[in-house]
């Protein structure tokens, strides 16, 4: 289970449309979102592309956001999806999210970031911007190695404090190559220059969780500013790690965080219910199992939740 992660790649006018293919991405699910600028204003005409799975692949045709920055898709299968948002003058935004066919899905709100002004100011004869544009085009064409060559050349023309956005692009290229070791190393370089770089903190946290290194990830997760959250799966995985280690208080803290921030996440109620059951808080545990059934009446954990409720309603414990 790989948690949702967001990548930012410098972009000028780069886009890609994923072909619909064999239509095996179709289902009954719906997802919607809004694209905003840093000031919270809607971004019209941003291209939104969805791909089924955790890598670019099959999905519906790309669409553009409306005047209010909104977009939506109907008829999608449940599972993990990749979303890519492109708009001229902004950095590309790309990330993953889970989709449920049988319940409402949380709206995806993305604040696009403009190309950093310092990069524009430092560009000598537009060489840097040309290198970045070539890198973007190569990355969009599925050529991460060639893209990295362009990004790394751009770094030589920039002052150290301007490196983080380009290093994030290099990290994305390594990620496309499935070279997670170098992805992590590049993100660490970013954090050496800017220890509070939110995007780098989010990405390295998500990568470490996905690699089963929950305790390493927790170090970076705890450095995120208030209100800056990872996808629910990251906190769930950390909570599960604590639960398996018998650290029920720490596990409960993580599951409480998911319930508070993602109240429609059925898995959070399931795992919190298990913790509460082990702590002897049977009434609260029963409430969580009932909430899971309410959110996902046809979900994979319903039978198990019903068995727990029979036990609890019968005075179990």
pLDDT 10s digits, 6-59: 333 333 322 233 333 345 788 888 999 999 988 889 999 999 999 887 555 688
Can you read off the two tokens belonging to residue 313?
A: 């309603």
Class in CATH terms, 116-222: mainly alpha
Q: Where do we find the tokens 């996905």?
A: 210
How far is the C-alpha of 81 from the C-alpha of 99, rounded, in Å? Answer: 7
Tell me the angle at which helices 282-295 and 266-278 cross, rounded to the nearest 10 degrees. 160
**What are the helix (H) ranges across 262-301?**
266-278, 282-295
In terms of C-beta density within 10 A (0-12 exposed, 13-18 middle, 19 or more buried), how is residue 265 classed? buried
* Sign of the C-alpha dihedral computed for residues 165, 202, 140 and 44 taken in this order: negative
Give the mean pLDDT of the chain: 83
Tell me the angle at which helices 127-140 and 163-176 cross, rounded to the nearest 10 degrees. 20
CATH topology of domain 1-114: Immunoglobulin-like (2.60.40)
Through-space distance between the first and last CA atoms of the chain, rounded to whole angstroms: 33
pLDDT 10s digits, 170-214: 998 998 888 999 999 999 999 999 999 988 998 899 889 888 898
Domain boundaries, the chain: 1-114, 116-222, 232-313
pTM beyond cutoff 0.75: no
CATH topology of domain 232-313: 1.25.40
Q: What is the pLDDT of residue 1?
A: 29
Distances (CA, A) of 28 to 32, 49, 74, 99, 114: 14, 18, 7, 10, 35
The strand pair at 6-9 and 92-99 is best described as antiparallel
Q: Taking residues 93-121, what's their average pLDDT? A: 76
Helices (H) and strands (E) in the chain, counts: 12, 8
How far is the C-alpha of 77 from the C-alpha of 25, rounded, in Å? Answer: 5
Are 1-114 and 116-222 equal in CATH topology? no
Residue 4 has pLDDT above 90, yes or no: no
Minimum mean pLDDT among 3-7, 158-162, 179-183: which range?
3-7
pLDDT 10s digits, 228-240: 878 788 889 899 9
52 vs 290, more confident: 290
308 vs 105, more confident: 308
Q: What is the pLDDT of residue 20?
A: 35
DSSP 8-state symbol, 114: B
How far is the C-alpha of 183 from the C-alpha of 170, rounded, in Å? Answer: 8
H or E segment to which residue 57 belongs: none
């Amino acid at each position: 289970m790989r948690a949702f992660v967001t990548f930012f790649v410098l972009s000028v006018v780069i886009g890609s449309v994923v072909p619909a293919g064999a239509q095996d991405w179709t289902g009954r699910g719906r997802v919607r979102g809004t694209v905003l600028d840093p000031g919270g204003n809607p971004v019209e005409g941003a291209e939104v592309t969805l791909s089924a799975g955790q890598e670019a692949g099959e999905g519906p045709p790309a669409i553009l956001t409306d005047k209010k920055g909104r977009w939506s898709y109907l008829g999608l299968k449940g599972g993990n999806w990749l979303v890519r948002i492109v708009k001229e003058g902004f950095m590309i935004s790309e990330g993953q999210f889970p989709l449920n066919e049988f319940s409402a899905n949380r709206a995806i709100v993305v604040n696009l970031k403009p190309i950093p002004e310092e990069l524009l100011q430092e560009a000598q004869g537009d060489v840097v911007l040309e290198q970045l544009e070539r890198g973007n085009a190569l990355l969009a064409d599925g050529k991460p190695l060639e893209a990295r060559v362009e990004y790394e050349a751009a770094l030589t023309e920039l002052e150290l404090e301007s490196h983080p956005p380009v290093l994030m692009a290099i990290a994305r290229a390594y990620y496309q190559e499935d070279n997670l070791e170098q992805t992590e190393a590049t993100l660490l370089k970013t954090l050496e220059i800017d220890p509070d770089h939110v995007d780098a903190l989010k990405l390295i946290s998500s990568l470490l969780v996905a690699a089963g290194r929950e305790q390493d990830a927790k170090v970076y997760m705890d450095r995120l500013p208030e209100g800056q959250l990872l996808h629910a799966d990251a906190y769930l995985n950390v909570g599960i790690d604590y639960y398996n280690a018998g650290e029920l208080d720490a596990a409960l803290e993580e599951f409480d965080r998911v319930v508070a921030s993602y109240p429609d996440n059925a898995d959070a109620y399931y795992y919190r219910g298990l913790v509460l059951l082990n702590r002897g808080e049977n009434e609260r545990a029963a409430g969580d199992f009932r909430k899971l059934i309410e959110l996902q009446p046809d979900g994979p954990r319903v039978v198990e939740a019903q068995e727990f409720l029979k036990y609890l309603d019968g005075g179990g414990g």
